Structure 1
């Protein structure tokens, strides 16, 4: 309803009004005392009728969209705790994922190859351990985070700055439908809402609000993804940052976060150890495998010297699956043990 923004609904809610019930004269008087104009009250009272509610429900059902409001039992419990929880979330996909333990993975829209690898690796490992990977489906790190989780058939939640039925950016059309099939897409914006610059910072509080912590993979000094960090800190959630090359234009934001107290992430265990009280069962088992993972890293590291070694050579000499070699090489880069040269060559640092 036009004119019924977050603060207007908050004032009405404080009068005791529930959207499914008529607004009494006493409620209207109390709302006016809080600064809600009579014109706005009249518009809401005239519009919010049982017939209107039925009409909206039928239309949402036709579009296969679920509306979860703050009055519903299945509203995400973690999201209730933030300063301005959305009054309604429109959802396509598995609604239950919004109330499962989540970690946000975000970053720049213009990532380096290193950033893409890091986002995919961390998201894949988080999803494989039972966490829900939360992000914003933006071009760049967000999309890579979703794809990393999908590689593990893991749980994913995308929070949009548009209506839940509007694909933005358009080149993420296939990713959008994969997210609905394997996870959930949600938004507080009414269906049909198109992209607008002011809506994306607003949705960032939901990304962090659904998550126990936020991981920033790459961010320039003034990156928009740092707004999510501000939301995380305001909400009392954990903040993590992945270090990058000091020469990269996409590293200053993450390096500043580390200087200011964000936890430096060199491997996924750096995230897990902050949430041992929440870890899903598969994750607890994975801690028992940490020693064997380090042995594999040492084996790969031994193959790389001061002279460049090709990816093909490493794969031929190391008896582990190809996808595991990629993960180990990225882990060694994050730990600053090796660096990648052009042509998929690697040398020790």
Structure 2
């Protein structure tokens, strides 16, 4: 059995849990003592999706620089999108009218510059960003569940659209449902594959604010939309700006940053 297949079977056995996979690899780096249950073996044989592992040539180099690189990624669509210029869009799942309109406008401007939009296929800002970019540009969705257990279910049709003409990736085998830890694991992948993160709207104690703060401390380029005065949806963005994130006033600022990342 190749190391690639061992990793895939380990992913199935450990349900895509990075921490459990890491522990197994720490104890047995080449997985020479690894055995898989018959039920997991059957799931391996039944997988109808593409897979890239950390030992494959096409595995992106920027994932290898992560503190917690994904060992196995399941994907549907065009893996070459991982090589393009990418902006990660994050925000609340209950945006204001201002937030929705701002997201639509900014995404439309970015895709006109052939920039790929990255998100988590969640409700709210994520869904808006994916809808706009999938119609007239390119988009990447990173899931917090397997392909057979799409979460949230309201975005199932959007997932189907993106799986055909864009890219959907997941660290979790197809049969794995959403889990509490999965959002953290998903968000670290979104952060790693995005050249820049853009926060549209976020509450002060919201999950996306905490994700962006950690990314900011890790040296990621963050742009936050300042938002409307006295709005709870702007508190997270303003907090990030205080912490050192860039205040987003014009999408061309993003283009200038990308020119430094991708010099001619």
Per the shorter chain, which TM-score range? 0.7 to 0.9
Q: Deviations over 1:223-266 (max 9, x none)?
A: 11123313423542201101111121201110111122111111
Is 1:218 paired with 2:207?
no
Is 1:47 paired with 2:36?
yes
Q: Distance in 2 between matches of 1:236 and 1:149?
A: 26
Instruction: Please say if residues 205 and 231 of structure 1, whose CA atoms lie closer than 8 Å, have aligned partners that are also in contact.
Output: no
1:256 maps to which of 239, 248, 254: 239
**How far is the alpha carbon of 1:12 from its aligned partner?**
5.2
Unmatched runs of 5 consecutive residues or more in structure 2: 1-12
Q: Which has the higher contact order (CA 8 A, sep 6+)?
A: 2
Count of residues in correspondence between the two structures? 252
Is 1:190 paired with 2:177?
no
Return closer, same or farther for 1:97/1:225 CA change in 2, 3 Å cut-off.
same
Instruction: Please say if residues 15 and 173 of structure 2, whose CA atoms lie closer than 8 Å, have aligned partners that are also in contact.
Output: no
**How far is the alpha carbon of 1:169 from its aligned partner?**
1.2
RMSD: 2.5
2:57 maps to which of 73, 77, 88: 73
Q: Distance in 2 between matches of 1:98 and 1:4?
A: 21
Return closer, same or farther for 1:4/1:103 CA change in 2, 3 Å cut-off.
closer
Return closer, same or farther for 1:191/1:280 CA change in 2, 3 Å cut-off.
farther
TM-score w.r.t. length of structure 1:
0.66
Q: Deviations over 1:271-303 (max 9, x none)?
A: 11112134598xxxxxxxxxxxxxxxxxxxxxx
Partner of 2:142: 159
Q: Distance in 2 between matches of 1:201 and 1:171?
A: 21
Return closer, same or farther for 1:213/1:243 CA change in 2, 3 Å cut-off.
same
Matches within 5 A, 1:1-349: 1-2=13-14, 5-10=17-22, 13=25, 17-19=29-31, 22-23=32-33, 45-47=34-36, 58-60=45-47, 63=48, 65-152=49-136, 154-279=137-262
Instruction: Please say if residues 163 and 193 of structure 1, whose CA atoms lie closer than 8 Å, have aligned partners that are also in contact.
Output: yes
Q: Deviations over 1:90-144 (max 9, x none)?
A: 1111122233331101100110111111112212222221222110011100011
Return closer, same or farther for 1:149/1:70 CA change in 2, 3 Å cut-off.
same
Q: Distance in 1 between matches of 2:207 and 2:134?
A: 25
Unmatched runs of 5 consecutive residues or more in structure 1: 24-44, 282-349
**How far is the alpha carbon of 1:222 from its aligned partner?**
0.7
**How far is the alpha carbon of 1:56 from its aligned partner?**
5.1
Q: Distance in 1 between matches of 2:257 and 2:37?
A: 45
- The answer to which of 193-202 and 183-192 deviates more is 193-202
Q: Name which one, 1 or 2, has greater alpha-carbon Rg.
A: 1
Q: SS of the counterpart of 1:129?
A: coil
TM-score w.r.t. length of structure 2:
0.86
Instruction: Please say if residues 91 and 208 of structure 2, whose CA atoms lie closer than 8 Å, have aligned partners that are also in contact.
Output: yes
Partner of 1:331: none
Return closer, same or farther for 1:2/1:14 CA change in 2, 3 Å cut-off.
closer
Instruction: Please say if residues 155 and 183 of structure 1, whose CA atoms lie closer than 8 Å, have aligned partners that are also in contact.
Output: yes
